[in-house]
Amino acid sequence: MRLTLRSVIYAKLVNITSVPVYACEGCSRNEVFPGVKSDLGMLVNRLGAKPPAQTIPFDEIHELAGVLSHAQHRSKPLRQATVARVAEERTNELLDLWIVASSVGDEAWMAELRGRLSQLSAQYIS
């Protein structure tokens, strides 16, 4: 199984791009990466049964997808070492923002950053 980013079509109208997916090279089986499954499920839930046609770049709304997308720009196919480096850089960025948010006592911003950091905590297994 190889981890790649691909588009997922929902309800024939919504194109969700850059979704981390495990693809089997032997058969055509695809499986959404476990670390993003629940967040993707929540997104689909919010869209409802009859969403308007649209394109949603998943790598812009999910930190882990964003990291994988960045890593893929640096080295294609994805390499675990590159993913780890990009994830560490992004984590450090978010922690720097966290320091700013907590020093000004912005609770809403801190909660948002906590959510983003937790998206990055999923284990990446190649």
Structure tokens at 117: 């950091």
Alpha-carbon torsion (35, 30, 73, 83), positive or negative: positive
Which CB atom, from 27 or from 108, has the smaller least distance to Zn ion? 27
Q: Tell me the residue nearest to Zn ion as measured from the CB.
A: 24
Q: Considering the complex, what minimum distance in angstroms separates the CB of residue 1 from Zn ion?
A: 8
Does residue 48 touch Zn ion according to CB under 5 A?
no
Told to check if 28 binds Zn ion by CB under 5 A, we report no
**26 makes contact with Zn ion (CB under 5 A):** yes
> Which is nearest to 126 in space by CA: 77, 87, 89, 93?
77
29 vs 74 by CB, closer to Zn ion: 29
Q: Among 2, 6, 13, 29, which residue interacts with Zn ion (rule: CB under 5 A)?
A: 29
Q: Which of 27, 49, 53, 104 binds Zn ion (CB under 5 A)?
A: 27
Q: What is the DSSP string of 61-78?
A: H-HHHHHHHHHHHHSSS-
Select the residue interacting with Zn ion from 11, 13, 24, 42 (CB under 5 A): 24
With contact defined as beta carbons under 8 Å apart, do 8 and 59 qualify?
A: no
Burial 65-84 (b: 16+ CB within 10 A, else e): bbbbbbbbeeeeebeeebbe
Where along the sequence are the contacts to Zn ion (CB under 5 A)? 24, 26-27, 29
